[in-house]
């Protein structure tokens, strides 16, 4: 009887946690982790990079305790919620001018859909940018952080290495900026350890990109994002 009672409690606790996760997700969706940021669009099939606007592309991979997060298409309240990463960015000048206000989003933002295996493409004004924050919309993964800033404590997360992620949007180019690995692990004390790293998978990403944007083939280059230790900027 006691075992049966514990199973019922566990069942309702699990349901409660999922409801809390969905509610948190809804709040983020309503507030729009994109806030008042201007959302960059995916370039149309026929778009050609020019002097004013370029393309960046790459991939976001999310891992929980070493397991890759994949799109599951689950429904919440009868609706299939998008599982995605929203990347906020702002023009970069130096390490002293970073956005340290947790309520202020980046100037621009672009979304990466888990349903697209994490591949992203964005059309952006030419310039140098840094990543303000990553917002994670994963209603079914309560252990994954809701957001992260790589250079500061944010939304309960302090990355293991404080760093600034910088990349360039080049004129007349479609630039591969890297495959970003977002990893959330739970240690023996049930604390979340979050790490972000970047690997170069240019050939694979180029193939995926050109399958959707064949017109941009002669403009494709690889110039992966740079990670600068934040402490050295103080």
Q: What is the pTM of this model?
A: 0.82
- 228: Cβ–Cβ under 8 A, 6 or more apart, which residues? 95, 163, 164, 166
What would the pLDDT profile of 111-154 be if each residue is shown by its tens digit? 999 999 999 999 999 999 999 999 999 887 777 889 999 999 88
Q: Would you state the structure tokens that stand for residue 140, as one six-digit string?
A: 């079914």
Domain hosting residue 160, numbered range: 2-233
Angle (CA) 210-55-203 rounded to 5° is 40
What would the pLDDT profile of 197-212 be if each residue is shown by its tens digit? 999 999 999 999 999 9
Closest alpha carbon to 225 in 168, 187, 186, 185:
168
What's the mean pLDDT in 214-233? 89
Q: Compute, in degrees rounded to 10, the torsion defined by CA atoms 103, 230, 39, 74.
A: -80
Q: Say how many domains are in the chain.
A: 1
What would the pLDDT profile of 20-68 be if each residue is shown by its tens digit? 444 444 444 434 444 567 888 788 778 999 999 999 999 999 999 989 9
Angle (CA) 18-12-183 rounded to 5° is 35
Q: Would you state the structure tokens that stand for residue 30, as one six-digit string?
A: 């309503």
């Amino acid at each position: 009887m006691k075992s049966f009672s514990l199973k019922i409690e566990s069942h309702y606790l699990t349901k409660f946690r999922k409801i809390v996760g969905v509610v948190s997700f809804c709040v983020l969706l309503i507030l729009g982790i994109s806030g008042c940021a201007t959302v960059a669009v995916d370039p149309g099939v026929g778009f050609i990079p020019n002097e004013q606007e370029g393309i960046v592309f790459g991939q976001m991979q999310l891992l929980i305790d070493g397991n890759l997060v994949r799109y599951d298409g689950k429904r919440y309240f009868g609706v299939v919620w998008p599982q995605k990463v929203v990347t906020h960015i702002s023009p970069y000048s130096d390490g002293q001018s970073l956005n340290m206000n947790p309520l202020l989003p980046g100037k621009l933002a672009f979304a990466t859909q888990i349903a697209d295996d994490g591949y992203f493409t964005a059309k952006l004004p030419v310039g140098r940018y840094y990543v303000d924050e990553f917002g994670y919309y994963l209603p079914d993964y309560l252990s994954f952080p809701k957001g992260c800033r790589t250079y500061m404590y944010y939304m309960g997360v302090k990355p293991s290495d404080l760093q600034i992620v910088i990349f360039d949007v080049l004129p007349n180019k479609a630039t591969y900026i890297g495959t970003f690995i977002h990893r959330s692990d739970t240690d023996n004390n049930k604390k979340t350890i979050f790490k972000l790293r970047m690997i170069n998978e240019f050939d694979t990403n180029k193939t995926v990109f050109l399958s959707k944007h064949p017109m941009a083939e002669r403009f494709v280059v690889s110039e992966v994002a740079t990670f600068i230790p934040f402490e050295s900027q103080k």
